[in-house]
Structure 1
């Protein structure tokens, strides 16, 4: 556990680790020595040997001074280690998360990742800055006292040293069931966090359908699960703590009983017996403190394991060939591509498709057929399971990630905006862009119209996930971001499907400018979007079942002809009023 915690300390603070451990060890040994020195000091005082008592007192004062200095240093170094780890591991986790395949995030809630990055890191900081010193002292001090007592009465020293592994074994047995209970509590807490966030952001929907208070079953279920997990953690930890506390008290009673019996039998002088009883109490104190923080220590151990598990997830790393591999153009080739998510089901199977440079290819098909997945594979959001995706003749797996991302501008239906200003959200497309370039991209995407209506203009904060803007406005900002990036390949996924006619017209104008002269792969359900594509690929159950232009595919029976017929029928439907005053739809 301690070794795994130290691996999280950044390189510039690694040199503090041996200093911290040394200071903590010296602090523990000095404490033990001060406790043991009580015996000759008390013996001298009881025997009225003031001269000897003064010498022992001076020695004890020196040892206490050493303990004070070492204690101060270990506290200071522990704090510096904790703060350094907080900075280092936070950056390390951030860099690691940004390099993971997007497929890894599938099935994981934002709340569970956040708890690992925030709550677990905080537990580790507490461990390094405070708990580690308690753990080391809880071992060093009792051993030091036991060894020191050996020089006074070897029998008592042996009992002390033998009792230490017994208490350690009991503590380990007591903590066996803690980890699984803590993992359940961690998962339930993450679920509660996710449901609370959902509850606060989805109030319009929840209120419209009366799913508030106890009727919000998802939140209520998460809270109940969290309560059960909390009870389970208590049930897993309390018996062990109680057992350990009982064993500690039994050891204390055995030691006191032994000293009393030996003093009664005359084997020990009364003064020595009194001093040894005081030392026995100091022998037990660090062990008792260790028992008091055992729950926190186990929690920190679980946190350390979870952070390491996150850091051990394989990254989507740059290929060693990435520096040398340069595409000859912006064409895209899907060559026998197969891919499936974590459940093992293949979403796309043996897909082969050529997208020549500077052309537009539309991908159509029923929901769940793998259309969006193909777009994400083109941007290497996931590594393929089989086959290859090539850009300009180069496998995207052989391209440096930065070079690949510079080639691609994705514009998806679900736009994510950061809780920053409009200008900052657009500048993400190209951080080094000039103000004029940014304003021009915003003008083409009609974001300037939005800015003019807002009281703070370009400095308007869009809110969490862009909540202060409408869906169409968020899409305009997304297009402005892609325009500013000006990548040669554009991936469009249902970019206008959820927009009203006005916003759709504005967004389509921006998309035309964005895609001018670019290689475009577009996923859409609207005929107006796909009809003018250079080629259309029909995807069904992860396989391309047909390919051609709009006229070619419409002229022959098949999936696309059925698709066109369905759209024609849907376009003819309208709502009318029946003679009974009831609204009905009819062709």
Structure 2
């Protein structure tokens, strides 16, 4: 468990965690040693001079007080380390996810990571903070007591030590089945969560098609599978729980019988026999508590394994000696990208010189948006090269590379916060005047004036309080504020009403001035303003040229243009 935790968090937390564990072990040993003082106390009480027991009683009280102090300090350190581990886990997981290629983020993985990063991480770190101390105490204290019993009488001590192999064997025998059951339960839980989210998101479509009952059956089936899996997980823990209880109680009974036999035979003094029985009783409860503690620790371990799997996913490699592009041209040279057995981009070559506007045209699913993501290195190509300013993007530091781009996607996501906070993400250090200038250039002034609290209006999660066109204007203002030399635009006006379309186009015109631009577009206004147009289908470049050249060619672009412009205006 500790080894897995350190692998997840890295060696940065090794020292404080080991220090905390050492302190918890010390507290458990002090507790066991303090109980050892019961032996001379009992001997003194049953001696001809019972008043000699007072020094031992005082020593016992001091030892218990020392144990209380050490235990308090160790628990406090455990809580502090747990809080630090929680922050560290979130930071490490967040940093690693930010370095993964975007192709890794499938819908199922997003759901899995959401469960892990939400309740999962909190559960795992809470287990470390609250259960690590009790787990150590439940194992180290009985072991210390067993050593004390051995020192009192070697025969009873050997009988006590004989319990350990039985407990260890029982643990290994049940560990595999319980771990497998816990993993299956967690998988079913993630699937059920996904079904619930799907059911809620699909309500408009389901109601329009009168299909609520059908989709509810899918959700209900997923919940039934989760219930069955949870039942299996519970049943899988029963042999270990009942077995541990049976072993501990049987061992206690055997020690009782052995101590009584030795005492009756005169081979063990009565005070020692009483002390041994009391010590055995004191070790019974911690051992029995292992059932509950190990169940929670096992759940935390399952979460840590999931986090470890994510962290083991290879991020995009970073160049050892990064280069900095001196210009702002863009180039794809013989680029191929595959997704499993499917070729998404097939031997594509294209160039956008510094200051040029390049438009990517083609049917849906042709690979246009994928090309934009390759330019920004959201993932690496399988063959060929993507260059910015003549430098392969794999040889540019990720922060330097992203500083070259302002990106506006079709689906804009705004963070819960104010409009100003969302715009300021483009350049956090910008002045208020620069933020407002960017907003004005993006035609946001009229939007802000209509909002109840103006600049301080909360946009809601995902920008829910704004329309699609208004969110696009915020995204353009963010890109304007960033003031990067290269602009990537992904169908930003494809679904806007005339008013928002005009405002967004005005913002885009300001954004593109003097910059290298690659846009995915279908509107005549966007295409005509491009210096070069590339027609793409099935991941391949079929035609390149200006608007007039491609119409004159009378090929796929001309055919596509006629379909999108029935008026025939060219």
TM-score (norm 1): 0.89
Aligned match of 1:348: 345
| SS in structure 2 at match of 1:274 | helix
Question: Is residue 2:560 matched to residue 1:559?
Answer: no
- How far apart are the structure 1 equivalents of 2:285 and 2:316? 50
Aligned match of 1:67: 67
Aligned match of 1:461: 458
Are 1:426 and 1:438, in contact at CA under 8 Å, matched by a contact in 2?
yes
Aligned match of 2:20: 20
The CA deviation at 1:198 is 5.1
Which structure 2 residues correspond to residues 43-442 of structure 1 after superposition, within 5 A?
43-197=43-197, 204-210=204-210, 215-217=215-217, 219-322=219-322, 325-341=323-339, 343-442=340-439
TM-score (norm 2): 0.92
Q: Aligned pair in 2 of structure 1 residues 19, 375: CA closer, same or farther (>3 Å)?
A: closer
The runs of at least 4 aligned residues of structure 1 exceeding 6 Å deviation read 9-13
The CA deviation at 1:335 is 0.8
- How far apart are the structure 2 equivalents of 1:279 and 1:394? 73
Are 1:20 and 1:73, in contact at CA under 8 Å, matched by a contact in 2?
no
Which whole-Å deviations, capped at 9, do the CAs of 1:294-318 have from their partners, x for residues lacking one? Answer: 1011112222222333333333354
Are 1:10 and 1:84, in contact at CA under 8 Å, matched by a contact in 2?
no
- How far apart are the structure 1 equivalents of 2:252 and 2:214? 52
Are 2:7 and 2:308, in contact at CA under 8 Å, matched by a contact in 1?
no
- How far apart are the structure 2 equivalents of 1:354 and 1:12? 45
Q: Aligned pair in 2 of structure 1 residues 297, 155: CA closer, same or farther (>3 Å)?
A: same
Deviates more, 1:456-465 or 1:201-210: 201-210
Q: Aligned pair in 2 of structure 1 residues 476, 206: CA closer, same or farther (>3 Å)?
A: farther
Which structure 2 residues correspond to residues 535-546 of structure 1 after superposition, within 5 A?
535-546=532-543
1:501 to 478, 498, 501: 498
Q: Aligned pair in 2 of structure 1 residues 555, 224: CA closer, same or farther (>3 Å)?
A: farther
Are 2:163 and 2:247, in contact at CA under 8 Å, matched by a contact in 1?
no
- How far apart are the structure 2 equivalents of 1:76 and 1:7? 24
Deviates more, 1:193-202 or 1:252-261: 193-202
| SS in structure 2 at match of 1:293 | helix
- How far apart are the structure 1 equivalents of 2:438 and 2:199? 36
Aligned length: 568
| SS in structure 2 at match of 1:35 | helix
Q: Aligned pair in 2 of structure 1 residues 109, 448: CA closer, same or farther (>3 Å)?
A: farther
Are 2:326 and 2:389, in contact at CA under 8 Å, matched by a contact in 1?
yes
| SS in structure 1 at match of 2:507 | helix
Question: Gapped runs of 5+ residues in structure 1?
Answer: 573-587
The CA deviation at 1:136 is 1.8
Are 1:441 and 1:484, in contact at CA under 8 Å, matched by a contact in 2?
yes
Which whole-Å deviations, capped at 9, do the CAs of 1:484-535 have from their partners, x for residues lacking one? Answer: 2222211111111111222212212221221122211111233443244222
- How far apart are the structure 2 equivalents of 1:253 and 1:227? 39
Deviates more, 1:308-317 or 1:386-395: 308-317
Question: Gapped runs of 5+ residues in structure 2?
Answer: none
Aligned match of 1:585: none
The CA deviation at 1:389 is 0.5
The CA deviation at 1:197 is 4.7
The CA deviation at 1:537 is 1.6
The CA deviation at 1:395 is 0.9
The CA deviation at 1:348 is 0.7
Q: Aligned pair in 2 of structure 1 residues 453, 221: CA closer, same or farther (>3 Å)?
A: farther
Deviates more, 1:387-396 or 1:132-141: 132-141
- How far apart are the structure 1 equivalents of 2:341 and 2:231? 35
Are 2:124 and 2:299, in contact at CA under 8 Å, matched by a contact in 1?
no
- How far apart are the structure 2 equivalents of 1:562 and 1:231? 61
Are 1:364 and 1:538, in contact at CA under 8 Å, matched by a contact in 2?
yes
The CA deviation at 1:214 is 7.8
